[in-house]
Structure 1
Amino acid sequence: MFPTRALFAPGVRLTLFTRVGCSLCDTAKDNVLNVRKRRPFDYSEIDVMAPGNKIWKDVYEFDVPVLHVQTVEERQAGAVEEVSEPKKLFHRFTEQEVEKSIDEAQQQPI
């Protein structure tokens, strides 16, 4: 990757939907964090079984791990606005699939 490309590429946010005791989720998290060592992106995790996450439990309880990859753009100082629908990766995904999804998200027009 060229340095100038990184400077002008849109930001990317990855959200991993997971739950405690899920070995597939642990593998998915390792894959995402290994990619993060090589490429910068915002990252968060949501435990679908945690209190207060009923909306995500209803959607993903039996599908975790699920990874949302979204293009984001900073609109005002510190305020990030999502500008793309999430690309979703389910269950068993590799580091290469995560990187490919990031590349695709960055190529979407803003």
Structure 2
Amino acid sequence: MYPTLRLLQACRITLFTRANCSLCTNAKDTLFKIQETRPFMYKEVAVMEDGQKHWKDLYEFDTPVIHVSGKDAGEEQSELASKARKLMHRFTEEEVKAKMDEVEGESSI
């Protein structure tokens, strides 16, 4: 069995979340539905936890937020957040897949 091109170009999605956030729960559900048919690397950051001050300052009142990047992109950096491919608050499977397509399209160039 050979890996597909899509798997080789997998995205990384970072979900910025917080406790007791129903929109965050919906966002997670959306991402897990997508992951069933379209693999991606997943990371979750709880912005209110100790050691996350830089993310708290950015996203405390905006969760959920996702950053979509190439699988080989470096670690998320708060000072580069303005340049990130992101979706905030409420987003659909189609919107997430469109961001993934953008990132994968850039990776294949």
Q: TM-score range by the shorter chain?
A: 0.7 to 0.9
TM-score, with normalisation over the residues of structure 1?
A: 0.81
Q: CA offset at residue 72 of structure 1?
A: 2.4
State how 1:25-36 maps to structure 2 within 5 Å.
Answer: 25-36=24-35
Structure 1 consecutive aligned stretches of length 4 or more whose deviation exceeds 6 Å: none
CA positional deviation for 1:21: 0.2
Are the equivalent residues in 1 in contact too, given 2:65–2:87 (CA < 8 A)? yes
Query: 2: CA distance between counterparts of 1:64 and 1:4?
Result: 33
Q: Which runs of 5+ in 2 are unaligned?
A: 75-82
Which amino acid in structure 1 is aligned with residue 50 of structure 2? Answer: P
Letter in structure 1 aligned against 2:90? R
C-alpha displacement of 1:60: 0.3
Q: Which residue in 2 is equivalent to 1:6?
A: 6
Counterpart position of 1:93: 91
The corresponding residue for 1:108 is: 106
Give the structure-2-normalised TM-score. Answer: 0.82
RMSD of aligned Cα (Å): 1.9
Structure with bigger strand share is 1
Q: Could you say which structure has the higher helix fraction?
A: 2
| Alignment correspondent of 1:22 | 21
Contact 2:41–2:71 under 8 Å retained in 1: no
In 2, Cα distance between equivalents of 1:5 and 1:27 = 29
Q: Which runs of 5+ in 1 are unaligned?
A: 74-80
